[in-house]
């Protein structure tokens, strides 16, 4: 699951790689990403291919999303006594 690190470090990740890393269907991941986008935690943008099937959707954390993630990890570490 190393690809997951790409999102929270602030770089972009392909939707398909994120989907594969978290093991969700396209529809389930899209629904979750929509909620995160509405909360200003992530951004999505599409690179259009020559044909529709070649479009690539990119996902990245916003500064607000990165802060929320870091705060969550810190809280988990505190709970775990780390």
pTM: 0.76
| pLDDT for 4 beyond 50 | no
7 within 8 A of 18, measured Cβ to Cβ: yes
pLDDT tens for 45-66 read: 998 877 767 789 999 999 999 8
Helices (H), 1-82: 4-8, 15-22, 26-38, 63-80
- Model confidence at 20, pLDDT cuts 50, 70, 90, reads very high
pLDDT tens for 21-47 read: 999 999 999 999 999 999 999 999 998
Instruction: Look at residue 56 and give its three-state secondary structure.
Output: strand
33 within 8 A of 42, measured Cβ to Cβ: yes
Q: Which helix (H) or strand (E) holds 61?
A: strand 56-61
Cα 79 to Cα 4, 55, 67, 74: the distances in Å are 23, 42, 18, 9
């Amino acid at each position: 699951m190393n690809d997951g690190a790409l999102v929270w470090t602030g770089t972009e990740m392909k939707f398909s790689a994120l989907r594969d890393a978290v093991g969700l269907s396209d529809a389930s991941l899209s629904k979750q990403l929509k909620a995160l986008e509405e909360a200003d935690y992530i951004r999505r943008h599409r690179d259009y291919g020559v044909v529709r099937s070649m479009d690539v959707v990119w996902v990245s954390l916003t500064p607000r999303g990165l802060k929320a993630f870091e705060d969550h990890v810190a809280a988990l570490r505190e709970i775990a006594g780390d």
